[in-house]
Amino acid sequence: MRNVSGQTACLNGNHEESVNDSKLLKSLSSVEQEFIGSLKFQGIEELVNSLKMIHDFALYHTDLCFDTPEKIALFNLKFLWERLEHLGKS
* DSSP code for 45: H
| Integer Cα distance of 68 and 63 in angstroms | 16
Q: What are the residues whose beta carbons fall under 8 Å from the beta carbon of 83, sequence distance 6 or more?
A: none
Dihedral sign from CA coordinates of 9, 11, 17, 20: negative
Report which of residues 27 and 82 the model is more confident about.
82
Give the length of the chain.
90
**What is the separation of C-alpha 73 from the centre of its chain, rounded to a whole number of angstroms?**
14
Q: What is the pLDDT of residues 13-66, one digit of tens each?
A: 444 444 443 344 468 888 988 988 998 899 999 999 999 999 999 888 888 888
